[in-house]
Amino acid sequence: MPILKADTTPFDGQRPGTSGLREKVKIFQQPHYLENFVQSIFDTQQELAGGTLVVGGDGRYYNREAIQIILRMAAANGVAHAIVGQGGLLSTPAVSCVIRKYKTQGGIVLSASHNPGRPDEDFGIKFNTANGGPAPEAVTEAIYQRTTEISNYQTLEAADIDLDQTGQSQLGGMQIEIIDPVTDYAELMQRLFDFDGIRNLFKSNTFSMRFDAMHAITGPYATHILEDMLSAPSGTVINGKPLPDFGGGHPDPNLVHAHELVSMTQGHNGVDFAAASDGDGDRNMILGRDFFVTPSDSLAIIVANAHLIPGYQKHKIDGAARSMPTSQAVDRVANRLGIECFETPTGWKFFGNLLDAGRITFCGEESFGTGSNHVREKDGLWAVLFWLNLLAVKQQSVATIVQEHWREYGRNYYTRYDYEAVNKEAAADLMQHLRNKLDSLPGTQIQGHVIEYADDFSYTDPIDNSYSECQGVRIGFIGGSRIIYRLSGTGTEGATLRVYLEAFEPDPNKQQQTTANVMAPLVSIAQELAQITQKTGREQPTVIT
């Protein structure tokens, strides 16, 4: 089968962000656009030649077509073996699991995570390295630099591979193995958690649960693990069939986009426990009856209770890490346990070196992402199973577990305001306005709050000494409150300004206030400091979580 060398020219802007390259589907469908980026992966990641590549995605629109392009290019570039999820499906944590289990040279993940998926919506691609994690900045920068100078790419002229039948086939000199996308991941979960204990929880007839897969990738995983392996009642998983357009919904597991699930937890007849995951399966939302667990609290509670979970009982916890905007709740747990706690930039790739070096066991981000050293991605269903295991052990409600944690460690009130599709120039001007005044802010008072520190967060990786700057503006107040501003790299239209608000309350008698009431003064200060309305024209955020 002859190798075809196609001439091409570079496209502007193919620099991967914190989660790979994301653009509208129509941009990816341009002739040579996807091919240029994929060829840049093969040109810079020489170990793939003669090696094994994992390929899979979240099933969104254009997923299957992109996989066929990638497989033909992989064969033309000398990849010896490709492992592909049946139907082109693999959750992002499952890709990491498969890379690590079979010791492959890397993987290509096709997803735009929690972004919508339709012909006029979003698509994405990222490369995961041999450790199973997102490519670090040195790798993504090398790929980007190659995209700026590429002049040709290699492919095969061949018929499409049948992605729907498990088994082996051949494409040129490359062997293709279509695998069940769930099996390896489910086996890993069974090794970590007490499935017998969780099964007994479901059999008790006093416990009820719903899991919203949001018509995204975790539907098959949750159905097999929860309903088949753990004996949860049929119907526990809702919206369980992955669809290219996610059923017309927005597969982002938060209180706004998962409102159907939220309503199931409300009132006397609400379910005891509910959870949701996102487009590619790496995020999670945890709910109890009439109770929302913030991702920051979830991370802290996971670390505090890891000794109760079989997969984490045999070894001491090495440490914990959180992204800079994530609340400091886990810091207090780490301090009590006498373990290290790292503050990293946003982006899961920053946890990879710490995990590989054995410096941390758990990590998480406020954007509904939690994980551990079992893979090198955040893992939505893993977090749900951790909570199920915890509920089985403690025999308490979600609310009771969280409130007891607050009484012991204090409560970090937390919220995030997202201003989506903001004019990019206006957003950049707002951030520069903040940076220009940082040196003058410490010691000043605004609306009765004294600013203790103000900086633009930078990070030196303690493992490889790589340096990342301009990662977000932090404004810290005496008493522990914080306001953080940063521009997100996960959107595909305009800029997304994110404002993170945190207030610490150590007094148990004051821990039942509503988040909105506690945050109201900080919201006002955040608006005034950044001149959000004046600079963006936005009176209100797009989403509050």
Give catalytic residues, as residue numbers.
Answer: 113
> How far apart are alpha carbons 217 and 283 in whole angstroms?
11
Contact (Cβ atoms closer than 8 angstroms) between residue 10 and residue 148: yes
Tell me the two tokens of residue 466: 């790589």
CA angle 524, 504, 276 (to 5 degrees): 85
Element (H, E) at 287: strand 284-288
Question: Which of 394, 366, 371 shows the shortest CA–CA distance to 382?
Answer: 371
Phi, psi of 228 (to 5 degrees): -85, -50
Phi, psi of 542 (to 5 degrees): -75, -40
Tell me the two tokens of residue 517: 């009431």
If DSSP codes are grouped into helix, strand and coil, which group holds residue 123? Answer: strand
Contact (Cβ atoms closer than 8 angstroms) between residue 239 and residue 212: yes
SS3 content of the chain, % helix, strand, coil (to 5): 35, 25, 40
Core vs surface per residue 228-261: b (16+ CB within 10 A) or e: eebebeeebbbbbebbbbbeebbbbbbeebbeeb
> How far apart are alpha carbons 146 and 287 in whole angstroms?
44
Contact (Cβ atoms closer than 8 angstroms) between residue 103 and residue 88: no
Name residue 174's amino acid. M
> How far apart are alpha carbons 160 and 158 in whole angstroms?
7
Question: Which of 92, 391, 79 shows the shortest CA–CA distance to 218?
Answer: 92
If DSSP codes are grouped into helix, strand and coil, which group holds residue 240? Answer: coil
Core vs surface per residue 332-352: b (16+ CB within 10 A) or e: bbbeebebebbbbbbbbbbbb
